[in-house]
């Protein structure tokens, strides 16, 4: 007993000591962060490096000292704001894009590229350097006045491709299967459970989607590199950028240099000598300065509500759209008399149709008081389109993935596995349907009929919302639905969105609808601080950033497969989701 008391005391003492050391460390970091001053020297270059994954919005408090410890993400809103501030900053003479492996969607990359194109209108220069250009990296870099590559580097420029994983054989081997019910010719989220091969309908929509997105990328590169679209496709077909010398001869690059030589080019652009010091400031540091400078000023406000992630029932958070946090934001913006219009920034593949409808209803109530405009990000599909469809106006980027108006149900079943390992489940109930569906028993036709009935009801509800929101007939809505996905460009032609443009375009449209000339921006929702989120996970595996550790251990490709399998197995019940998980390369 004495041994156990001593052991318990030692454990408690260790935990207390660890806690004290941890909070002393956090306090020290906060002091360092507070005392650190950031300034921009005259004749400086803004170093554009996106080191961390880019979300539409991080919701970080200004100057939160704990972000450096716990939050490894960047907000697109902050990046775009920093570029706009730099355009008017007399101390910033140019931008250097020195970025490899940008972790962002194509529409996010396109939004940054547009901001850089606008920056060039100031007459300031943009140079880009890469040790290795993946396609998204090069797409971003191609906006620069001059593009450079390491002599031993390479380029991956071959056109877009998409990969979808299939699990039918895995189910057969393990005895763990997903019972699926769907509505929609193109509702292919369930296809991986039913087949080992891609259907022609799915192949058609993916090919057309990829073609539209690639067309947008090619047209922008063609303009900035003064190469015809035909020649860009020839370069892609022949892998004309696979070697630095080939890429330069093809016109994709301006020169092949080492980084120190690139820095000399920057110095020359700044009008200083090789021996002079190159003044530069990182995007991370410049953001600390730029976020204190408002580009919009006025007593009237435009509320921007960021809805990003899967749609799930509950409160929600930075990467999950829940009715709790989103509806609170909509109500606050709706009831705030200083807010004259609302912009919903939607970046979601969908999820729960119930939550989608709850949010849709709150948007309808907000529209009774003030205009509501939607800005679509990388993806606003299925449930993401559901919550968008009622807006007074919808904006999408040309490369946005949207549509996917359809519903499906997935229910796991392990009856075959149970039988193989000797498990038998018996149920007893008071009424005919009182016994719940069992994982351990095959799905009955009657139960399947009930699920199908629910799916049909939700699908018809979805169609009615689209019909009402887009002012078209149910038949017209159905012809655009069936789970089919579209690029922003295609969606504009079909009338699923109103305009092609980014978040700033949507904000300007909202101000116009509200008849407001001068306004400031108010962002929602306010997430918990990085420290608060960390402490909620304290004691669990997340304290060690388990996802990061697993990814580092098994590699990025194996980790992607693991996450895909985990994701599809978690899709239980009726879903209004993007019809497939695309890996665009």
228 falls within a domain: no
> Do 500 and 531 have their domain in common?
yes
> Do 344 and 406 have their domain in common?
yes
455 falls within a domain: yes
> Do 283 and 306 have their domain in common?
no
> Do 259 and 368 have their domain in common?
no
E strand or H helix at 584? strand 583-584
Output the pLDDT for position 2: 57
The structure tokens listed for 116 are 């850089």
7 falls within a domain: no
183 falls within a domain: no
Q: Closest Cα to residue 466, out of 371, 383, 401?
A: 383
> Do 479 and 412 have their domain in common?
yes
By annotation, the residues acting in catalysis are 187, 382
Mark out the alpha helices in 368-472 (DSSP H runs): 383-386, 415-420, 445-470
187 falls within a domain: no
The widest CA-to-CA distance across the chain, in whole angstroms, is 89
Output the pLDDT for position 444: 85
Total Cβ atoms within 10 A of residue 130 = 24
What letter does residue 528 receive in the DSSP assignment? P
**Domain span at residue 80?**
44-158+239-290
In angstroms, rounded to a whole number, what is the distance separating the alpha carbons of residues 252 and 247? 5
Q: What angle do CA 546, 532, 31 make, to 5 degrees?
A: 100
5 falls within a domain: no
SS3 for 154?
strand
In angstroms, rounded to a whole number, what is the distance separating the alpha carbons of residues 351 and 373? 21
Could you identify the residue written with the tokens 């650190």?
Answer: 36
The structure tokens listed for 508 are 């300007």
Output the pLDDT for position 64: 53
61 falls within a domain: yes
E strand or H helix at 212? helix 200-225
371 falls within a domain: yes
> Do 348 and 265 have their domain in common?
no
- Going by their DSSP bridges, the two strands 301-308 and 520-524 should be labelled as parallel
* DSSP structure string for 56-105: S---PPTT-TTHHHH---EEHHHHHHHHHHHHH-TTEEEEEE--SS--S-
> Do 280 and 311 have their domain in common?
no
Q: Which of 259, 290, 321 is the last residue of a domain?
A: 290
> Do 282 and 332 have their domain in common?
no
Q: What angle do CA 404, 408, 414 make, to 5 degrees?
A: 140
pTM score of the predicted model: 0.85
> Do 502 and 356 have their domain in common?
yes
In angstroms, rounded to a whole number, what is the distance separating the alpha carbons of residues 488 and 379? 9
> Do 246 and 334 have their domain in common?
no
What letter does residue 317 receive in the DSSP assignment? B
Structural domains counted in the chain: 2
Q: Which residues partner with 402 through β-bridges?
A: 380, 486
> Do 392 and 492 have their domain in common?
yes
> Do 473 and 397 have their domain in common?
yes
Could you identify the residue written with the tokens 């980014």?
Answer: 502
Q: Output the domain CATH number for residue 528.
A: 3.90.226.10
Mean pLDDT, contiguous 10-residue spans, the chain (585 residues): 57 59 54 61 94 85 51 83 96 92 93 97 96 95 97 94 87 86 65 86 89 96 97 96 95 97 96 94 93 90 97 92 96 97 97 95 97 97 96 97 87 86 86 81 86 89 96 94 91 97 97 96 82 52 48 53 53 58 57
Output the pLDDT for position 34: 44
SS3 for 231?
helix
Total Cβ atoms within 10 A of residue 197 = 10
The structure tokens listed for 343 are 């912009």
């Amino acid at each position: 007993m004495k041994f156990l008391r001593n052991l318990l005391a030692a454990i408690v003492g260790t935990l207390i000591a660890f806690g004290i050391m941890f909070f002393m460390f956090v306090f020290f970091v906060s002091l360092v962060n507070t005392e650190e001053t950031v300034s921009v020297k005259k004749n400086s270059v803004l170093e554009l490096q996106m080191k961390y994954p880019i979300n539409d919005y991080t919701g970080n408090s200004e100057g939160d000292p704990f972000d450096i410890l716990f939050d490894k993400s960047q907000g697109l809103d902050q990046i775009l704001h920093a570029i706009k501030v730099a355009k008017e900053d007399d101390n910033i003479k140019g931008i250097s894009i020195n970025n490899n492996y940008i972790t962002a969607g194509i529409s996010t990359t396109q939004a940054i590229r547009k901001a850089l194109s606008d920056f060039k209108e100031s007459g300031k220069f943009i140079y880009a350097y890469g040790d290795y250009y993946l396609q998204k990296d090069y797409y971003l870099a191609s906006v620069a006045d001059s593009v450079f590559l390491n002599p031993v580097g390479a380029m991956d420029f071959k056109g877009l491709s998409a990969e979808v994983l299939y699990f039918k054989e895995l189910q057969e081997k393990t005895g763990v299967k997903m019972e699926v019910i769907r509505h929609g010719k193109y509702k292919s989220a369930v296809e991986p459970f039913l087949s080992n091969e891609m259907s022609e309908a799915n192949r058609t929509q993916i090919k057309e989607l990829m073609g539209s997105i690639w067309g947008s990328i090619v047209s922008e590169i063609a303009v900035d590199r003064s190469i015809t679209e035909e020649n860009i496709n020839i370069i892609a077909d022949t892998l004309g950028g696979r070697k630095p010398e080939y890429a330069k001869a093809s016109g994709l690059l301006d020169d092949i240099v080492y980084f120190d030589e690139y820095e000399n080019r920057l110095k020359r652009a700044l009008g200083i000598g090789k021996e002079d010091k190159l003044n530069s400031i990182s995007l991370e540091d410049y953001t600390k300065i730029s976020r204190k400078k408002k580009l919009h000023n006025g007593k009237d406000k435009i509320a921007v509500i960021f809805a990003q992630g899967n749609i799930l029932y509950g409160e929600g958070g930075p990467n999950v759209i829940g009715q709790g946090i989103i509806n609170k934001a909509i109500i606050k913006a709706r009831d705030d008399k200083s807010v004259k219009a609302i912009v919903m920034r939607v970046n979601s593949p969908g999820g729960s149709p119930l939550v989608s409808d709850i949010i849709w209803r709150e948007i309808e109530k907000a529209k009774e008081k003030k205009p509501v405009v939607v800005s679509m990000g990388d993806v606003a599909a299925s449930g993401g389109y559901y919550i968008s469809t009622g807006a007074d106006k919808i904006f999408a980027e040309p490369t946005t993935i949207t549509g996917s108006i359809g519903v499906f149900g997935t229910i796991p079943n392990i009856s075959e596995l149970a039988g193989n390992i000797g498990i038998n489940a018996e149920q007893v109930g008071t009424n005919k349907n009182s016994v719940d569906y069992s994982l351990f028993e095959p799905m009955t036709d009657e139960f399947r009929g009930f699920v199908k009935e629910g799916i049909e009801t939700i699908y018809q509800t979805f169609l009615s919302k689209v019909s009402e929101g887009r002012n078209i007939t149910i038949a017209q809505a159905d012809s655009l639905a069936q789970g089919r996905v579209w690029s922003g460009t295609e969606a504009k032609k079909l009338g699923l969105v109103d305009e092609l443009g980014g978040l700033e375009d949507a904000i300007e449209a909202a101000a116009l609808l509200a008849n407001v000339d001068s306004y400031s921006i108010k962002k929602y929702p306010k997430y918990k601080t990085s420290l608060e989120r960390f402490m909620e996970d304290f004691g669990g595996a997340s304290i060690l950033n388990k996802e990061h550790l697993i990814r580092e251990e098994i590699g990025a490709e194996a980790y992607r497969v693991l996450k895909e399998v985990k994701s599809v197995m978690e899709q239980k019940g009726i879903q209004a989701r993007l019809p497939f998980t695309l890996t665009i390369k």
